[in-house]
Amino acid sequence: MKFVIRNCFDSARDFVYRNARPLDLARWHFHFERGGPKHLLNVLGAYQNGDGGYAHALEMDSWNPASAPIQTWAATEVLREIGFTRATHPSIRGILRYLESGRDFSNGRWHNTVPGNRDHPHAPWWAPGTDGEIRKTWNPSAALAGFLLRFSSDGTRARELARQVGTSACEALMQGEEAGEMHTLRCFLRLYEYAAEAGNPLGFDLEAMKGRLAAQMDACLTRETALWPTTYACLPSMFISGADSPFYPDFKALAQAECEHIINSQLDDGSWAVNWAWENFPEQWAVSRNWWKGSMAVDKMLFLKRMGHLTISPRRKKGVYRRNLSEIDL
């Protein structure tokens, strides 16, 4: 089995080196080859606009060059993935500036889509509503409120927005709004995590939130593993980053099944299938699809690592990284 894991990792690495965006290659270096955060943050900065928001297909299903909340949320996910919390860094300061500006915000939420998307290649789910209609969802507002809660200071506009939006989002979670929608549920999860990390300054009932999140995860996860290879399924990694997740004990067996699935579903080129597609823009979708494959390769190897099945111990010797991979117990 160790040989199988080694082949899986090496094939994924080759695919990333040959196909991934510079950002995902930097993520690979950070997680598996002792790359520092500086280069990754510099690459991430290429997606940030002067208003502090992010764009330029950071979220690969929308190519709008103007800042948007969902693209800015994607930047917060990269920062969270690498554990970067320096609030004075331009990436975080810019995000706070964009979110507190009032741009792309109304009725207590940041907009899920923005009108400019229609002028650029995009997936149908990022198409703006007709007649300026704003889609009512807590994706990504719940997560962005949590980010503000974690990184803003008392007495600032950002902290007030965190209080307003975060409180409303918490109430929505507890009332079961958007239950069963996995992307929104992950945003509620981020609100919970950020609130806990910030010392719970708004006084949420964190235990009640955790219980509600666990119940909704249980209802949302796709338990028929036979569907995973060919459908847009909800897998444990949507909510559980690794074995240290507070929700891991509740879904341990399913998370372990995902580890096995990662090994068994890898394609010959070292990537994994993308189980969704755009309806239009076929040429641009072909590019985005390949970008997604590179990003997914990093995601899947990182999940194996954080689940304790992949131990990367790179050591520099004559410019070569050596990798030690632990056996996976499946």
The residue ranges of every structural domain in the chain are 1-33+230-330
Cα torsion at 209, 194, 70, 132 (round to 10°)? 60
295 close to 21: Cβ distance less than 8 angstroms: yes
Q: What is the pLDDT of residue 130?
A: 72
CA 306 to chain centre: 15
Q: What is the pLDDT of residue 328?
A: 43
Q: What is the pLDDT of residue 131?
A: 60
d(CA 242, CA 179): 23
Helices marked H in the chain — which ranges? 2-19, 22-32, 37-45, 69-81, 90-99, 141-151, 157-174, 182-197, 206-220, 252-265, 282-306
Region label for 321, one of left (φ > 0), alpha (ψ between -120 and 50) or beta (otherwise): beta
> Pairing relation of β-strands 320-321 and 316-317?
antiparallel
d(CA 220, CA 237): 12
d(CA 8, CA 18): 16
Q: What is the pLDDT of residue 214?
A: 97
In whole numbers, what is the pLDDT of the chain averaged over residues? 93
Give Cα separations from 300 to 54, 242, 264, 295 (angstroms). 24, 11, 12, 9
Q: What is the pLDDT of residue 175?
A: 94
Give Cα separations from 75 to 70, 163, 239, 243 (angstroms). 9, 21, 18, 24
Phi first, then psi: what are they for 106, rounded to 5°?
-165, 155
Q: What is the pLDDT of residue 200?
A: 97
> Pairing relation of β-strands 316-317 and 109-110?
unpaired
Give Cα separations from 44 to 23, 58, 134 (angstroms). 6, 9, 28
Q: What is the pLDDT of residue 129?
A: 82
Q: What is the pLDDT of residue 311?
A: 77
What global pTM score does this model have? 0.94
Q: What is the pLDDT of residue 51?
A: 98
DSSP 204-219: --HHHHHHHHHHHHHH
In tens, the pLDDT along 224-251 reads 999 999 999 999 999 999 999 999 999 9
Tokens of 303: 């999940």
d(CA 159, CA 178): 25
Positions of the chain with pLDDT lower than 50, given as ranges: 314-330
